[in-house]
Structure 1
């Protein structure tokens, strides 16, 4: 079973580590190390002075088939160009062939010749980084920690690293959830949802409900316009969220959680006004146009809800 990751996330793994690869005079470090275990796909690079590791929780890998291969620096521009040519949401399957790493999407395939050279591991708090390769064993001492400029120490102690990278530091063993973990407390009826799954469910339910009500309502009524606008917005939000989740699931989850906080706060009208201004729009003009619609409706020149229904549909 191949490792599966979408093209957007694979490109991010490459981009976040490519600046740390060693030069051509240090062949074992002249490239990016691609490693996979039961939960994560890692991209590792080192130039002897710095070590960069990026990871992504992949969608599938047989726990008995972890792998580690070094992608030579010379192939990385071609790989990155190939990744960029794929739609970001397309799944990329990564498998090993004889002397190659093969990348496969629904539209194309790319094979790269590789060698099994270097594995990098953190050994202990502020101690040497262990570098292991075939017929080679090395160690690299870390630089002393500095502060981040706001009075907070960066990730330096073993406990901090262990908390942030618990799975990576467990020798590639699959982590298991302990029994008896209490369920999250139920969401109150008036609180906005914070999870992708619940948000998708709510948006689809709302679209179906408003569509049903739309076709059973007089087209000239204000209710028809409200149902039409509400259904259109719910369906649009679902499609946008679906696309974002395919391209970057972590960003999608963060956006949903942040949006839930804004909805619970209740100041979305003010934020929408500021967002419109920042995007170069003219919300004052929008308000003036809406006031004109209300005036025409009051004078009887437009049936109630007709102008909004036409705009919404």
Structure 2
């Protein structure tokens, strides 16, 4: 409730008393209970009788003083008629003054209470701001931890993807190696068959000395077969080179993957160490808070001990003053006895 509402309530509580008093001050109470009106009414009747007598005896010059008396007597009648109303008005005025004083005292007390509430509100606002700052700090720490956890999850997903890629590459490389080995084995089988055919053909040429016309053709075929054997050897060497290159690439990729895995393991270890350090710092903060609480309890105990010591010192001082006063009195008595 505001101050204006409190004032309205108090004025409304005070109004019925004044209305009841106004109702009591009726015409009967004013006329019959007010004895101050009787002499003025007697004078008024005398003036009326005198005016009527002057009119009757035709002495009009005497009407003037009786008329003046009549008119002057009306004013005290009016005052005596409204006398009780004026008394009630003065009483009500005094009551309103008392109520105004009470209201002023109540307003002062309410202002003091309002000031105390304002101070408490300021304290609560400051405490709320501190709590909001602490909550914002905790939310920032929570967000930082969530971001670190997200980064850790991303790193783990990347590691799993790298592992899957390495597995797939290894499987593809093993399949390509198997196909190359199969091709090399088939090529070696064909080369063996060609060598057997060449041996058979050479044997046939050694046995047939009569076919001199077929020597050129045989030589040409032998050259073709030699060229084919050379091309097969070149193809085998190229296949071997490709195998060596593929093996070197596999070794390089395995080394790179192992280095990446080591780096990611180091990152994971660093994150774990950071989490452990963060927990250690939290524990240290808790220990510091507990130490501060213990120190405050110790300070409170020391203050209580100091208060007790001060009370003991005051009691000792009082006893010392009593003893000094008694010693003075005994010294006075001794001096008096010596004088006697």
TM range (shorter): under 0.3
Indicate the structure (1 or 2) with the bigger Cα radius of gyration.
Answer: 2
Pick the structure with more helix per residue.
Answer: 2
Q: What TM-score comes out, normalization by structure 1 length?
A: 0.14
